[in-house]
Amino acid sequence: AMAALRGLLPPLAARLRSGPRAPLCSAAAAALPLYDVVVSGGGMVGSAMAAVLGHDIHFHDKKIALLEAGPRKEYNHLPDSYSNRVSSISPGSATLLSSCGAWDHVCSLRLKAFRRMQVWDACSEAMIVFEKDDLDDMGYIVENDVIMSALTKQLDAVADRVEVFYRSKAVGYTWPLPSHSCDTSPWVQVELADGRRLQTKLLIGADGHSSVVRKEAEIKNIEHQYDQSAVVATLHLSEATDNNVAWQRFLPTGPIALLPLSDTASSLVWSTSHDHASELLAMDEESFVDSINSAFWSNINHSDFIDTAGALFRSAISFLRPSGTAVRQLPPSVARVDPESRAMFPLGLGHATEYVQHRVALIGDAAHRVHPLAGQGVNLGFGDIACLAQHLSAAAFNGSDLGSLKHLLKFETERQRHNVSLIAATDVLKRLYSTTLAPLVLLRTWGLQATNALPPVKVRI
Amino acid sequence: QLSLFRFTVKRPFSTSHSSVDSKEMKKFQLLAHKWWDEEGEYAALHSMNDIRVPFIRHDTLLSMSSNYHLGNPLSGIKILDVGCGGGLLSEPLGRLGASVTGIDPVEDNIRTADRHKSFDPVLAKRIQYKSSSLEEIVEESMETFDVIVASEVVEHVADLETFIKCCSQVLKPEGSLFITTINKTQLSYVLGIVVAEKIMGIVPEGTHEWEKFVPPEELECLLESNGFSVKAVNGMLYNPLSGSWSWIESTSLNYAVHAVKSGARAQSHATDTLPETAIQQHSATAGTA
């Protein structure tokens, strides 16, 4: 009867894996340094995870290690020019960064709050505007370097608990056998490139979308390369403006977004085909600026049919819901681009089928990779951190084994539930907006207009 | 005062008054290596930690009113885990900072517990295991411990009153005793034995004998008449579908008790059962003594 019942329960035994490397016997293992948590990957998400745990009361006497393959970057002096890698930080992410004291540093360096987001179609007049009623900030555009600088400061502040290993790429992981059976070490072993080894009770993989932790744990990853690359650049506007609106226009080749950096500068994120992206990088600065302005202003993709249909729908809405159509603002025009700031990187979709295993958890891009069109990438990662840190904190306060699947599964369920719908929706949007076929354009036109008119749906977004 | 005299005279306990039941020992011997399989025979005990550890932590801190130490709330507190088995409860308490002594009459259990803690240098230092019965350590441990936990143990002991007396002897005045056990009701027979053991296999078959289950009233009475003041009695319920425990109003199945040993000056009365009103009066005067 017992066996039959256990057959009904989720196959947790499958999560207790043993890999190709044999775990150490107890004598050898005793010689290796043992950490409570090792975070593999020192990017924004990995560093924030280590910082948040380091500042948690219940982790006061615990030992945490952060492994970063690259060298320690000094952020003492913030360059005058803006970096071309920026992120849109949601208020929730700002709260998380506050909790470990990093947000104050970000604010004292530089960031740009935006109040409004205008998203519209290149093939029609349809538009959706996101705005908080109480004129609160919707989000913040922050350079990734600024976030890293703030996190590095906060890691330094808890150096007695968090040890950061720079130039320490993890090259191999050894997984423990199920703990009840043996005389071998129950911990995860991490081997670094220089041959050093450590042990940990919980390994957190924050090593990006081609995560080694995920691969070595043999966690299946659903992935798809979009045939798109994102072109980024730092742009200077024709005239100074409040610049507190984030702009995004869906072109048939992909969305182009302008994210405010200051009253006179904005960051470009233009997702387009690989060929077009290479062209954009190769062309001279004037042509580049012209392409951007044309992308935002030209109505070349409109058709009379769609315009009429759209207009009809709009008047129907304004009849039923007078407040349902927003005022269309005009995006700023671009004057010039920062010389060295153009760059491109390929885009893809990824989602790990499992976020956790015995003594392992994946966060950030290691667990999920999305298209930048929703500006959600790093926010999903910060959301993962908030959830995992909460569960780990409670587990520590209960004296639990930090690597226990019990609370790790709770983290996985909560985050998968949240992430899957957003990732799927982002993917659908990307595909929906990649076409000029009239029926689909009409569908998304009306859909966008309807969504714009319906507060409940907009709030959920 | 005769009872007080009797209580304080040290008397070596012969095995006939031992609280250890050899039949019970044999049952646990067979499963000694299964303790740490979180999905195995002891799964329900593993998940019981989710409620019993916070209960012990919270109520200990409340009655100690000591300064809360960040990250190690039970730091400096000496705990005796009676019937520790493989150390399922000792380890979380050790992680919270306590110095834990775990005792169990089954040697294989102690071996398993020792091996399991050996991989964690912090726990290896904080927890000491000993293969022993409670009586055997009384002599060398008079009034040594701040807290005693006897979780899922009293339904297995041969003589409950002896057990409680020994607890009192090794506990410091105003120290805490935490007990979790199973009530003796029709419901506990149906769910606790028939369903849990024979049908669903939540508990290995033959683990429990309904005859030895302890009703909370009897436990409270024994505690109060042996120098303890019962602070809390809470019902517990196991959900086999989710594999998790929760606190409930009713004590008809599982329940937990927190009792505090009276301070040095308070008296303990005779072991004859007193009528209920007398017991209540006794508790009241003990409180004001």
Contact assignment for B199 to A1 by CB distance below 8 Å: yes
For residue A413, what are its two tokens? 């369920």
- Whether A300 contacts chain B with CB within 8 A: no
Enumerate the domain spans of chain B.
22-261
Position B87 scores a pLDDT of: 95
Q: Nearest C-alpha of chain B: how many angstroms from A382?
A: 24
pTM of the complete model beyond 0.95 = no
Mean pLDDT by 10 residues, chain B (289 residues): 41 52 78 82 92 95 75 92 95 96 94 93 96 92 94 92 95 96 91 86 85 93 95 94 94 95 60 43 44
Q: What does the pLDDT look like over A232-246, one tens digit per residue?
A: 999 999 988 888 889
Residue at A28 is within a domain: no
Chain A residue with the nearest C-alpha to that of B34: A180
Q: Nearest C-alpha of chain B: how many angstroms from A168?
A: 25
Q: Computed over its alpha carbons, how large is the radius of gyration of chain B?
A: 18
Please say if the pLDDT value at position A37 is more than 50: yes
Residue at A8 is within a domain: no
Q: What does the pLDDT look like over A73-112, one tens digit per residue?
A: 877 788 889 999 999 999 999 999 999 999 999 999 999 9
Determine the average pLDDT of the residues in A404-427.
91
Chain B residue with the nearest C-alpha to that of A400: B92
Residue at A66 is within a domain: yes
What mean pLDDT is reported for chain A?
86
Q: If we measure between CA atoms, which residue out of A72, A73, A74, A55 comes closest to residue A64?
A: A55
User: Which of B119, B197, B245 should one mutate to test binding to chain A, selecting the residue with the greatest count of A CBs within 10 A?
Assistant: B119
pLDDT band at A14 (very low <50, low <70, confident <90, very high): low
A6 contacts in B (CB within 8 Å)? 39
A29 contacts in B (CB within 8 Å)? 119
Nearest to A185 among B72, B119, B200 (CB): B119
In percent, the amount of chain A with pLDDT more than 90 equals: 60
Residue at A18 is within a domain: no
Position A373 scores a pLDDT of: 83
**What interface predicted TM-score (ipTM) does this complex get?**
0.83
A403 contacts in B (CB within 8 Å)? none
CA separation for the pair B273, B218 (Å, rounded)? 10
Contact assignment for B119 to A186 by CB distance below 8 Å: yes
User: Which of A24, A180, A400 should one mutate to test binding to chain B, selecting the residue with the greatest count of B CBs within 10 A?
Assistant: A180
Name B152's Cβ contacts closer than 8 Å, sequence gap at least 6.
B45, B48, B83, B180, B181
CA separation for the pair A119, A128 (Å, rounded)? 5
- Whether A62 contacts chain B with CB within 8 A: yes
Determine the average pLDDT of the residues in A364-376.
90
Q: What does the pLDDT look like over B225-243, one tens digit per residue?
A: 999 999 999 999 999 899 9
Q: What does the pLDDT look like over B77-86, one tens digit per residue?
A: 999 999 999 9
Domain covering B22-261, topology? Rossmann fold (3.40.50)
Main-chain phi, psi angles of A190, to 5 degrees: -115, 130
Chain B residue with the nearest C-alpha to that of A407: B50
Q: If we measure between CA atoms, which residue out of B265, B258, B257 comes closest to residue B286?
A: B265
Q: If we measure between CA atoms, which residue out of A400, A440, A416 comes closest to residue A252?
A: A440
pLDDT band at A360 (very low <50, low <70, confident <90, very high): very high
Position A26 scores a pLDDT of: 65
Nearest to B200 among A1, A29, A399 (CB): A1
- Whether A31 contacts chain B with CB within 8 A: no
Chain B residue with the nearest C-alpha to that of A11: B39
Please say if the pLDDT value at position A269 is more than 80: yes
Residue at A232 is within a domain: yes
Q: Kindly report the CATH number assigned to the domain that includes residue A349.
A: 3.50.50.60
Domain encompassing residue A170:
34-74+81-459
Determine the average pLDDT of the residues in A209-217.
95
Position B276 scores a pLDDT of: 44
User: Which of A393, A398, A405, A408 should one mutate to test binding to chain B, selecting the residue with the greatest count of B CBs within 10 A?
Assistant: A398
Q: If we measure between CA atoms, which residue out of A355, A387, A310 comes closest to residue A127?
A: A310
CB atoms within 10 A of CB A13: 13
Position B287 scores a pLDDT of: 43
CA separation for the pair A159, B135 (Å, rounded)? 47
Nearest to B71 among A6, A26, A62 (CB): A62
Q: Nearest C-alpha of chain A: how many angstroms from B288?
A: 35
Position A459 scores a pLDDT of: 56
CA separation for the pair B73, B79 (Å, rounded)? 13
Residue at A233 is within a domain: yes
Q: What does the pLDDT look like over B6-17, one tens digit per residue?
A: 444 444 444 445
Determine the average pLDDT of the residues in A397-414.
95
* A195 sits in which H/E element: none
Domain count, chain A: 1
Chain A residue with the nearest C-alpha to that of B37: A180
CA-to-CA dists, residue B129 to A88, B11, B82, B133, angstroms: 54, 25, 10, 12
Determine the average pLDDT of the residues in A306-319.
74
DSSP assignments along A369-421, one per residue: E--GGGS-HHHHHHHHHHHHHHHHHHHHHTT--TT-HHHHHHHHHHHHHHHHH
Contact assignment for A12 to B39 by CB distance below 8 Å: yes
Chain B residue with the nearest C-alpha to that of A8: B241
